[in-house]
Amino acid sequence: MAQAPRRTVGIVTGAASGIGLAVATRLARDGLAIALFDRDGDAADQRAGELRDAGLQAMAVPVDVSDRAQVEAGVAEVRRALGPVSVLVNNAGKEGFRRFLDISPESWDELLAVNLTGVFHCCQVVVPDMVEAGWGRIVNISSSSTHGGQPFMAHYVASKSGVNGLTKSLALEFGPLGITVNAIPPGFIDTPMSRRNAEKGRLGPGGMEAAVERTTVRRAGRPEDIAAMCSFLVSEEAGYVTGQLLGVNGGRNTG
């Protein structure tokens, strides 16, 4: 079985803020050379600069993962600057909150283009590097809403459920080639997105505080909690873990 490349190069999508930034920071601290993909190129560039100022290896690439040409160009830029890619964390996502009968076909297509097709694009473009190396790690960030559904988020839940299914299929196809593929469905994580949703009343009665009370460990998750699981899943030690949905949710979902 092939070992991890001497210089491990990783891509984290949606890496300019929130969970993506925490993951990129953790993996860079673990010694990976990290490329931060984000539609907000200026924010990604600023974050990558901060990582470099801390003595870590990082670069920023403006990429909209729903655009195949941008993904291909971005991965090519990473290969030129850092080398072949052996770690991919698909975190970029678009939220959706609308009554089902009010979801337009255009809104449906737009959300799935980012949340599901974007994962397809990134995996398909990066996996050849992993196949050639005989080693690779893919982690897809899905959602705990896939466990039981969520009202007014049909398009979002459908897209993230698709990510879970894609994860399992890729794990079976590429496991014999030394590539593991897993998904993390985060629970209630304290991010700018969750705080915006609380302000809009989307977390239900009681907002953030009530959501914490419904969490077994009685705290909100932190982006760093997701990053810690990613750190393990992309490591050499996680080579026997693939095709799994590994919830990081404080006990809110145990199935």
Instruction: Find the mean pLDDT for residues 69-73.
Output: 98
Please report, for the chain, the start and end positions of each structural domain, with discontinuous segments joined by +.
9-189+222-238
**In this predicted model, what pLDDT tens digit does every residue of 196-249 receive, in sequence order?**
766 666 666 676 676 676 766 677 779 999 999 999 999 999 999 999 999 887
Distance CA 140, CA 176 (A): 19
**In this predicted model, what pLDDT tens digit does every residue of 158-178 receive, in sequence order?**
999 999 999 999 999 999 999
- Catalytic site residue from 37, 135, 156, 174: 156
What does pLDDT average to over the chain?
A: 91
Instruction: Find the mean pLDDT for residues 21-39.
Output: 98
pLDDT at 148: 77
Share of the chain above pLDDT 70, in %: 90
Instruction: Find the mean pLDDT for residues 61-82.
Output: 98
- HSE value, Cβ hemisphere, 13 Å, CA-based, for 209: 2
Asked if residue 5 has pLDDT above 90, the reply is: no
Fold of the 9-189+222-238 domain:
Rossmann fold (3.40.50)
pLDDT at 133: 97
CB atoms within 10 A of CB 228: 15
- List CB contacts of 11: < 8 A, sequence separation 6 or more: 34, 35, 37, 74, 75, 78, 85, 87, 88, 89, 122, 126
Higher pLDDT, 254 or 178: 178
Instruction: Please check whether residue 126 is in contact with residue 77, taking contact to mean a CB–CB distance below 8 angstroms.
Output: no
pLDDT at 85: 98
Reference 190, options 207, 172, 168; nearest CA is 207
pLDDT at 205: 67
CB atoms within 10 A of CB 54: 11
Q: How confident is the model at residue 2 (pLDDT cuts 50, 70, 90)?
A: confident
Q: What amino acid occupies position 10?
A: G
pLDDT at 208: 65
Q: What's the chain's length in residues?
A: 255
Asked if residue 130 has pLDDT above 70, the reply is: yes
The torsion angles phi and psi of 83, rounded to 5 degrees, stand at 120, -175
pLDDT at 204: 66
Instruction: Find the mean pLDDT for residues 85-111.
Output: 96
pLDDT at 1: 59
Distance CA 61, CA 69 (A): 13
Q: How confident is the model at residue 150 (pLDDT cuts 50, 70, 90)?
A: confident
Instruction: Find the mean pLDDT for residues 145-157.
Output: 84
Determine whether 240 is an active site residue: no
Instruction: Find the mean pLDDT for residues 135-152.
Output: 88
The torsion angles phi and psi of 38, rounded to 5 degrees, stand at -165, 150
pLDDT at 116: 98
pLDDT at 147: 75
